[in-house]
Amino acid sequence: MEKHYTLSKAAEILGVTTQTLRNWDNAGKICAIRTPGNQRRIPESEISRLLNPEVDNIANNTEKPQRSTGKSQENIEKLPTIATKDDENYLLMCKDVAVYDITHQLVLDESLLPGCMLKETMDFSQWMQTRYSEQTNFSAQRLMQSAFGKIDHIHAAFATGAHSLSDCYWIKQKDENINFMDITPYIHKEWDDVSENGAQNEYIWGPLSSLFVGGKTDKVWLDALSLLKINSFNEIEPYRLCSLLGLENIAKAKNTDDGIILRNFTSTDVFFESMKQYGITKENTDSRDVAIDSFKEHAVALFVIDYLVENNDRQPDDYGFLRCSNTGEYISMAPYYNFDWIWSGDSIKIPDIAWQRHSEYIYSLCRRAISVAGNFEYGTIIERRARELLLL
């Protein structure tokens, strides 16, 4: 993982002033990274390049360097050995509470720790990987390529602070004098098209918080309340079905010319934690059983809807809890979302625990589904699947 230095620390290492570094960055003579809080960070590889005697005459160099795609061990060895632990002491924050010391792997606040880390089913790195789509979200890939010149989620996480609109977690160095409201994408100017100096936002594929959106489909945040799932149109049908069945625990959705737009159901006070992030994976138990035990009919209804619309890819990171970002309390089941794989021709069996505890509720949903099936293009499938369940 590449280090990133504040302007003051980079200036100290290089023996120049912070204003000199700002001037070089503005002139395109060094490659500084901007955090969502619009603060400059200098990559270690860039400092190494500046310390190399072959490029020491940086002030006369008019060619903008390429963004770093890796570290040169020969150059890194030339860095002064003045770094202290504080220089690389990264903290995982939940709003303005330090939750976990990443550098020293120390729990600082159990009540706000991600569930999987508290249960020790995942370490910090594994949990971080649940917060983005590593290969399949093309908008995020293009954005990362634009912002960093390469696809490297670990690099991006520490350079940007890993700001998300799913939760209130973020990363900072221990000695950074910034707080959550300075940088949170919920209210931050990253949504603006124009930067302070009037230049167009160079990250043309969307705001940096789009880097940390899980799931397989191509998606991007349009603003703090609107997530566009690009070219996803059929997905609106399950939301309509939920509405006609009187189910209120659903995300608000609408179709547009570009795809379906989902309204953000999180805030600075309430965040989402998936069953996977909570610490329940297919390897250790059936997350659907845990959901039914925790959420009862709210969870049963989701799995019935999946069956009726033939959504055969409900994963542990596709549903979960809403948590209070101030106390860590688990509040309720999160609204239903993510029906990417509908009309698949196959359906996943509804868990036995649902039949054992909520069979009458399942039957009532199926009878209602048959009564409204005529409102849908694929209504014959909804009716057929509902009658299948009524025979069980």
pLDDT, one tens digit per residue, over 14-51 is 878 777 787 787 777 788 877 655 677 888 888 888 87
217: which 2 tokens?
A: 């489909």
pLDDT mean over 187-206? 56
Token pair of 126 as six digits: 């594994």
253 in any annotated domain:
no
The two tokens of residue 152 are 């490297």
Per-residue model confidence (pLDDT) at position 160: 83
153 vs 93: which has the higher pLDDT: 93
Query: Averaged over 256-264, what is the pLDDT?
Result: 95
- Residues, the chain, total? 392
Q: What are phi and psi of 236, to 5 degrees?
A: -65, -25
Confirm whether 202 is domain-assigned. yes
Residues 181 and 275 reside in one and the same domain? no
Q: Which domain holds residue 104?
A: 90-221
Query: How do residues 77-118 score in pLDDT, each as one tens digit?
Result: 332 322 334 457 899 999 999 999 999 999 999 999 999 999
Q: Are residues 288 and 303 in the same domain?
A: yes
Among residues 54, 83, 112, the one where a domain terminates is: 83
Q: How far apart are the C-alpha atoms of 308 and 389, rounded to whole Å?
A: 9
Given this model, what pLDDT does residue 106 score? Answer: 93
- Asked, for residue 61, whether it belongs to a domain, the answer is yes
pLDDT, mean of residues 382-391 = 97
Q: Are residues 139 and 53 in the same domain?
A: no
Mark whether 66 and 103 lie in a shared domain.
no
DSSP 8-class letter at 175: T
Give per-residue burial for 24-59: e unless 16+ CB within 10 Å, then b.
bbeeebbbbbbbbbebbbbbbbbbbbbbeeeeeebe
**In this structure, are 103 and 16 located in the same domain?**
no
pLDDT of residue 203: 57
Distance (Å, whole) CA 382 – CA 245:
12
221, 244, 262 - which closes a domain: 221
pLDDT of 198 strictly over 70: no
Average pLDDT over residues 310-336: 95
- Whether 118 and 9 map to the same domain: the answer is no
Q: Which of 267-276, 283-292, 317-326 has the lowest mean pLDDT?
A: 283-292
Residues 276 and 354 in one domain: yes
| Residues 189 and 277 occupy one common structural domain | no
Question: Cα separation of 312 and 380, whole Å?
Answer: 18
* Position 281 pLDDT exceeds 80: no
Same domain, 385 and 277: yes
- Which of 201, 221, 241 is where one domain is finished? 221
> Between 70 and 358, where is the model more confident?
358
Q: Same domain for 281 and 195?
A: no
Mean pLDDT of the chain: 83
Q: Which carries the bigger pLDDT value, residue 1 or residue 364?
A: 364
Contact between 1 and 70 (Cβ < 8 Å) = no
pLDDT bracket for residue 68 (50, 70, 90): very low
- Whether residue 259 lies inside any domain: the answer is no
* Residue 227 in domain: no
> Domain for residue 260, yes or no?
no
Higher pLDDT, residue 53 or 295:
295
User: Given this model, what pLDDT does residue 132 score?
Assistant: 82
Quick one: 280 and 328 in the same domain? Answer: yes
pLDDT at 61: 42
What is the number of domains present in the chain? 3
In a domain, 24, yes or no: yes
**pTM score above 0.85:** no
Q: Do residues 39 and 106 both lie within one domain?
A: no
Q: Give the tokens for residue 42.
A: 């200098």
